[in-house]
């Protein structure tokens, strides 16, 4: 008489939930040649710019094109502010903010060690004492909860491989009355000379931030090419 053996595969409920949630948040399909084929809320994520692009970040005509000086004014930085620059790159904005927050602290967060080394070299050469570099990950900025007055992201959010997790980390780090400055090239404006996948519309940004309970306080329109969107925690 033959014995019939039944194998029962037991999958923990937590694992099933993780798979379900993952598939729900992100989808995968072909898209832009400059995209990674991964989509979030109808938007394809762009390839990240590596440290080899430092020359682009430090280009001589960047102020003319982007008016970073006006962006810094928009932030209304106070001497005691604790500020985080997420995707800080070569420290272009970090070095502009540090003197204004002279009694505070600037966190320069990036996932590339080469970028952080560039910032550390600049900070050391200029004898700046209120900048701290942080090696982040694709899902976490590694800052304490409710610790930061202002968070800045300049043209990097659209490259995050895990935007949902990153914005959750950002929200957690913000103080209850903190402000999140999301700077992205205007996707609504075809005159902005940037590839489409490296731009965002206000509508798309608002939709993605609202999913993390962040609401648009204001979108300042005084930058030549970029949105200057200010988000706060939803009550």
**Element holding 201 (H helix, E strand):** none
Is a pLDDT exceeding 90 seen at residue 16? Answer: no
Please answer whether residues 71 and 228 qualify as being in contact, where contact means their C-beta atoms are separated by less than 8 angstroms.
yes
Task: Give me the chain's average pLDDT, please.
Answer: 91
Percent of the chain with pLDDT over 90: 85
pLDDT of residue 158: 98
| E strands in 41-138 | 43-46, 82-86, 105-110, 131-135
Is a pLDDT exceeding 90 seen at residue 55? Answer: no
**Residue 115: both structure tokens together:** 């970028």
- Cα 183 to Cα 47: distance, rounded to the nearest angstrom: 17
**Residue 7: both structure tokens together:** 């194998």
Is a pLDDT exceeding 60 seen at residue 123? Answer: yes
- Cα 107 to Cα 113: distance, rounded to the nearest angstrom: 14
Q: What is the DSSP string of 203-227?
A: HHHHHHHHTTTEEEEEEE--SSSEE
Is a pLDDT exceeding 90 seen at residue 68? Answer: yes
Query: How is the chain split into domains, by residue range?
Result: 53-233
pLDDT of residue 184: 98
Lowest-confidence pick of 11-25, 75-89, 126-140? 11-25
CATH topology classification for 53-233: Rossmann fold (3.40.50)
Which residues contact residue 144 at a Cβ distance below 8 angstroms, ignoring those fewer than 6 apart? 173
Give the pLDDT mean for 48-60.
Answer: 85
Strand partners, 227: 184
At 181-221, the pLDDT tens digits run 999 999 999 999 999 999 999 999 999 999 999 999 999 99
Tokens 């996932």 sit on residue: 111
How far, in whole angstroms, is CA 33 from its chain's centroid?
Answer: 22
Residue scoring higher pLDDT (134 or 57): 134
């Amino acid at each position: 008489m033959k014995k019939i053996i039944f194998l029962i595969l037991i999958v923990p409920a937590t694992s099933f939930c993780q798979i379900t949630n993952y598939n729900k948040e992100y989808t995968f399909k072909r898209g832009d040649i400059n995209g990674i084929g991964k989509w979030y809320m109808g938007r394809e994520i762009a390839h990240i710019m590596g440290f080899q692009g430092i020359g682009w970040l430090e280009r001589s005509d960047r102020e003319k094109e982007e008016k970073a000086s006006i962006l810094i004014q928009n932030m209304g930085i106070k001497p005691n502010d604790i500020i985080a620059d997420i995707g800080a790159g070569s420290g272009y904005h970090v070095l502009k903010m540090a003197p204004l927050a002279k009694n505070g602290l600037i966190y320069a967060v990036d996932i590339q060690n080469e970028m952080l080394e560039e910032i550390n070299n600049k900070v050391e050469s200029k004898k700046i004492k209120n900048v701290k570099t942080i090696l982040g990950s694709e899902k976490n900025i590694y800052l304490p909860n409710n610790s930061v007055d202002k968070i800045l992201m300049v043209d990097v959010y659209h490259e995050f491989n895990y935007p949902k997790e990153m914005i959750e980390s950002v929200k957690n780090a913000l103080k209850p009355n903190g402000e999140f400055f999301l700077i992205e090239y205007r996707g609504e404006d075809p005159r902005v000379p940037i590839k489409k996948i490296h731009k965002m519309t206000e509508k798309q940004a608002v939709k993605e931030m609202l999913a993390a309970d962040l609401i648009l306080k204001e979108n300042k329109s005084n930058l030549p090419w970029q949105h200057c969107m200010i988000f706060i925690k939803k009550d």
